[in-house]
Amino acid sequence: MSEPVVGSPRRDIHRVGTEETFAIPELLDAWRGMARSVWASQDLELVRSSGMSYHGQRLIDNLLELGEGRIAKMDEAGIDYAILSLCSPGVQLFDPETASDIAELANDRLAEQVRAYPDRFGGLAVFAPHSEKRGIAEMERAINELGLNGFILNSHTAGHYLDEPQFWGHLEAAEALGVPIYIHPRTLPDAVGGPFAVYHLSRAAWGYAVETATHAFRLIVSGVLDRFPRLQLVLGHMGEGIPFWLYRIDYWNGRHQGRTAPQLELKASEYFKRNFTITISGVYQRSALDLSLAELGDERIMFATDYPYQPMSEAVNFMDAQRDLPQETQERIMFRNAERVFRAPAAG
């Protein structure tokens, strides 16, 4: 994907990107191996269509580029610090043992980058949600030993969602470790993906938001956030549309609670404002930002670029154009919230 340069970034504000993606060759090789199967997963269709991705070799090269090469692109775009995360769907296509092996390898590689460039890179760890023993052990290792900044999970795992009891140990671990889980998109499960199998509907234009917002909604209305009240979650893509729906969610879930849905301690929207922080990744639309600011306030929105799926410069140019926002709001979105939520190093 080409990286259009539209003017040059303003140099008077610090920028921390919170959805900045990378790959390791071993992960791509393992996906290619699965793509030789007969599994009709829409995740694997992408791999099959051109050896890895319909974006082609340029995307793969950008995903694999870390170190000085990645930093040169950040410098050009004006990104001071990137919280890196392994590309979707991460390790969640694999059986629990393979997923754990690749998660440990990817987290080690990520930690090497953070150690080599501590003022430029942070990282979100992956883990196997479908292995209670190794998954939770890796979560603890990633934070306590590798010093990473949180976790990334690519929505469902084989059609299962974090509100289900087999994942409560992982949620308890994240809450105890005091770091967030970024719930990143992937395609919908095979069982519900049929209507999304046309027009490239399953991916970023629509299906990702449907899938990921559904995941967040399940966490809210299941009551799992009464069980783990300090658990922090992050959603990209301006909250996957949820800020727009809060009134209707409260109206109808309020009527379902205690009848056809669990009785909760709070209104659904109150969990969204207490347990979630959103990022602007890939949504460079002022009206959506204004709505999110009105609903969540400026301490629950973070800057992100979604690089390399979209150019870093699009996110930078969008936020550079919002100089009419209060300076404090700009600083919170661009870096202060990431310092608090992800323990990014304080701006110099």
Q: Give catalytic residue positions.
A: 306
d(Cα 302, Cα 291) in Å, to the nearest integer? Answer: 14
Question: Rounded to the nearest whole angstrom, what is the least distance from the CB of residue 306 to Mn ion in the complex?
Answer: 5
Nearer to Mn ion, 157 or 281 (CB): 281
- Quick count: other Cβ atoms within 10 Å of Cβ 118? 12
Nearer to Mn ion, 153 or 173 (CB): 153
Smallest distance from Mn ion to CB 179, Å: 19
Write down the least CB distance from residue 250 to Mn ion, Å. 28
For Cα atoms 93, 58, 107, give the angle at the middle one, nearest 5 degrees: 45
Select 64 or 266, whichever has its Cβ closest to Mn ion. Answer: 64
- Residue 85 or 317: the one with the smaller Cβ distance to Mn ion is 85
Under the criterion CB under 5 A, does residue 20 sit at the interface with Mn ion? Answer: no
Residue with smaller CB distance to Mn ion, 22 or 94: 22
CA distance 217 to 253: 10
Stretch that binds Mn ion, among 145-153, 204-212, 224-232, 303-311 (CB under 5 A): 303-311
Question: Nearer to Mn ion by C-beta: 202 or 253?
Answer: 202
Distance CA 279, CA 241 (A): 11
- Of 240, 306, 314, 320, the residue at the interface with Mn ion (CB under 5 A) is 306
- List, in sequence order, every residue forming a beta bridge with 22; answer none if it has no partner: 86
Per-residue DSSP letter, 106: H
Per-residue interface string for the shown chain with Mn ion, residues 257-296, x marking contact by CB under 5 A: ----------------------------------------
Sheet of strand 16-22, all strands in order from the earlier edge strand to the far edge: 16-22, 81-86, 121-125, 150-153, 181-183, 233-235, 276-279, 301-302
CA-CA distance, 348 to 343, in Å (whole number)? 14
Angle at 317 between CA 81 and CA 77, to 5 degrees: 40
| Binding window for Mn ion (CB under 5 A); candidates: 123-131, 272-280, 302-310, 340-348 | 302-310
Listed in sequence order, the residues at least 6 apart from 182 whose beta carbon sits closer than 8 Å to its beta carbon are 18, 19, 85, 124, 150, 151, 152, 153, 233, 234, 235, 236
In 117-241, which ranges are continuous DSSP H helix? Answer: 132-144, 168-177, 207-221, 224-227, 237-240
Instruction: Fill in the per-residue mask, 160 to 199: x = in contact with Mn ion (CB under 5 A), - = not in contact.
Output: ----------------------------------------
Name the segment binding Mn ion (CB under 5 A); options: 206-214, 269-277, 301-309, 321-329: 301-309
Least distance (Å) between residue 264 CB and Mn ion: 30
User: CA-CA distance, 307 to 62, in Å (whole number)?
Assistant: 9
Residue count, binding to Mn ion (CB under 5 A): 1
State the nearest-atom distance from the C-beta of 207 to Mn ion, in Å: 14
At closest approach, how far in Å is the CB of 257 from Mn ion?
Answer: 33
| Residues making contact with Mn ion (CB under 5 A) | 306
